[in-house]
Structure 1
Amino acid sequence: MGGVIGIVLVFAMVFGGYTLAGGKMDIILHALPYELMIIFGAAIGAFLIGNPGDVAKHTLKDVGKVFKGPKWSSKDVRDLLCLLFELLRVARQAPVELEEHIEDPQSSAIFSRYPKIQADAAAVDLICDTMRSASMNYDDPHQVEEVIEKQLESKLHHSLHSSHAMQTMADGLPALGIVAAVLGVVKTMASIDKPPEILGQMIGGALVGTFLGVFLAYGFVGPFAAKLKQIAEAEHQFYTLIREVLVANLHKHAVDICVEVGRQNAPRDWRPSFAELEEALSQTRAGVTP
């Protein structure tokens, strides 16, 4: 919702202020299709040149997140903590039974109670790989923690590709706007014998190119890139909770303490209260999906 409101405000304030100041929209509207073709078309072409196909697809897919927000919510954090609680409890009480859950999580009765997490390959792999490593009786928990940290760094780096690609496009748009404006001036110079009122319209149309490049860069593409970065970093916090809980387990803390460590490290907007989590864990102990 915030993204839609922001777009409406950008258009309303820029063009509203322009028209209230006495500006005429006909010159902009006449030049807009051609300038947009030059600037935005060239920007898309440069984007495809500068990024692999998978990054381009990933970026197009991620644009929707600007309006939807992060994938995870406070409910998902609560479910994650309950899932880890169940897995750690099995690991402590019946280590042999744990294998069926971490080797085939898609068929696991525990994972199946949390379908959204089960459907996220990154979260499932991180949980299963770490618990599999823990079952190998590592003498130094810091070894496993270092492996997890490298996995998380790699995932964050990958998830930021969309933001970096869009920011690069935003950086190039003002220059492409100048290219469009120069072409407009070249066109105007070829008609130097025209009356001043016609030349004025042609120069105004050329300047639309500069305006459009800056407007798109700082009004839309740049903010989109910044929002995607914020969302990627927010979603990354969900995976760091997995690390916090499982590392606490490697240090042999009680299962309840491990889960509490995860709760306290959750972002404030997603963090369930102690009472809320305790109620969810009580339902989990009773075999009821919270």
Structure 2
Amino acid sequence: MLVIGGLVFMLLCVFGSFAASGGAIVPLVKSMPFELLTIMGAGIGTFVMASSIGDLKHVPGALGKAVKGPKFGRQDYLELLCLLFSFTRLAQSHGVMALEQHIETPMESTIFGKYPKIRDNQRVRRLICDYLRMISMNMDDPFQLDEVMSRELAKNLKEDCHVAHSLQTLADALPALGIVAAVLGVIKTMGSISKPPEVLGEMIAGALVGTFLGVLLAYGIVGPLSSRIRSVVEEDAHYYDLIRAVFVAFLQGNAPQVSVEIGRKDIPGELMPSFEEVDTALNELAVG
């Protein structure tokens, strides 16, 4: 909601200050629909040309991320730590082959069943199962696992940021597209050079609206949206990276609880559960 609130506040300040200072709203309002059609139409067209079908399908979801914010909260990190503790404790006490029933049929797993939000998240579930499967296949070198997981997570992050990068490219182009709209307005004005000065003045003002809208859209809307989407994606990436940190720590010979604590230290500060919270949750699991 901060995105919507910030957008409304920005627009009120821009147009409100213009009106309050005595600016003529009528030419602005009359020209804006046609200038917006030119700028946004050209912008959307170039965005579509530069993107694949898959990228375009992810645009609504990316815009939703900008509005809703990060997908994972403090409780989600705590539940993931508890889940990873359960799997690493099972592997330590009963051997890695005991993981097979949980990773081959995760929707029927009793461990996944305790955390339905994780179980129902396909990406998280697959990431956990894939690397537990590799561990059960005797991939016991922590450096190799770290390298493989890091490459996959970096690839996923790059793919998730693609919409943000595309929007930033669009933001960079919008001022120039605004100039295109303004030039078209000037051409139209020059074609009516014989008209009275007051008419020409209004037409020139309408042409300049194109430059104004191009800059406003670039630096006031599309650019901030791009930054917001990238920020949300990067923050959510910490959640997936937590899985890597715990698995690598476990393969390095650490006890499950120590591995979980090592992973906890990688969680962003404002989302990181305290040691006491994690310890209490793990003790409840141990008792259960």
What's the counterpart of residue 263 of structure 1?
264
CA distance in 1, matches of 2:176, 2:215: 8
Say whether residues 1:41 and 2:41 are aligned partners: yes
* 1:118 alignment partner AA: R
Distance 1:52 1:26, change over 3 A: same
Q: TM-score, normalised by structure 1?
A: 0.96
Q: SS in structure 2 opposite 1:269?
A: helix
Say whether residues 1:229 and 2:208 are aligned partners: no
Q: TM-score, normalised by structure 2?
A: 0.97
Say whether residues 1:201 and 2:173 are aligned partners: no
Say whether residues 1:98 and 2:99 are aligned partners: yes
The one-character-per-residue Cα deviations of 1:152-174 (angstroms, maximum 9, x if unpaired) are: 11110111011011111111111
Alignment of 1:1-290 (within 5 A): 1-95=1-95, 96-138=97-139, 140-287=141-288
CA distance in 1, matches of 2:193, 2:49: 37
CA distance in 1, matches of 2:159, 2:108: 28
Question: CA offset at residue 86 of structure 1?
Answer: 0.7
The one-character-per-residue Cα deviations of 1:2-45 (angstroms, maximum 9, x if unpaired) are: 11220111111111111121101111100011011110111111
Stretches of structure 2 that go unaligned for 5 or more consecutive residues are none
Equivalent pair of 2:70/2:233 in contact (CA under 8 Å): yes
The one-character-per-residue Cα deviations of 1:253-280 (angstroms, maximum 9, x if unpaired) are: 0011001111111110110011111121
Question: CA offset at residue 130 of structure 1?
Answer: 1.6
* 2:131 alignment partner AA: T
Q: SS in structure 1 opposite 2:178?
A: helix
The one-character-per-residue Cα deviations of 1:135-162 (angstroms, maximum 9, x if unpaired) are: 2333532111111111111110111011
Q: SS in structure 2 opposite 1:265?
A: coil
Question: CA offset at residue 286 of structure 1?
Answer: 3.2
Stretches of structure 1 that go unaligned for 5 or more consecutive residues are none
Equivalent pair of 2:167/2:226 in contact (CA under 8 Å): yes
Equivalent pair of 2:100/2:136 in contact (CA under 8 Å): no
CA distance in 2, matches of 1:139, 1:174: 54
Equivalent pair of 2:42/2:177 in contact (CA under 8 Å): yes
Equivalent pair of 1:123/1:239 in contact (CA under 8 Å): yes
Question: CA offset at residue 90 of structure 1?
Answer: 1.1
Q: Report the identity percentage.
A: 47
Q: SS in structure 1 opposite 2:231?
A: helix
The one-character-per-residue Cα deviations of 1:218-265 (angstroms, maximum 9, x if unpaired) are: 000000000001011101111111111000011110011001111111
CA distance in 2, matches of 1:231, 1:72: 10
* 2:80 alignment partner AA: L
Q: SS in structure 1 opposite 2:58?
A: helix
Runs of 4+ in 1 over 6 A off after TM superposition: none
CA distance in 2, matches of 1:154, 1:199: 55
CA distance in 2, matches of 1:167, 1:59: 13
CA distance in 1, matches of 2:87, 2:176: 54
Q: SS in structure 2 opposite 1:38?
A: helix
Equivalent pair of 1:163/1:225 in contact (CA under 8 Å): yes
CA distance in 2, matches of 1:201, 1:138: 73
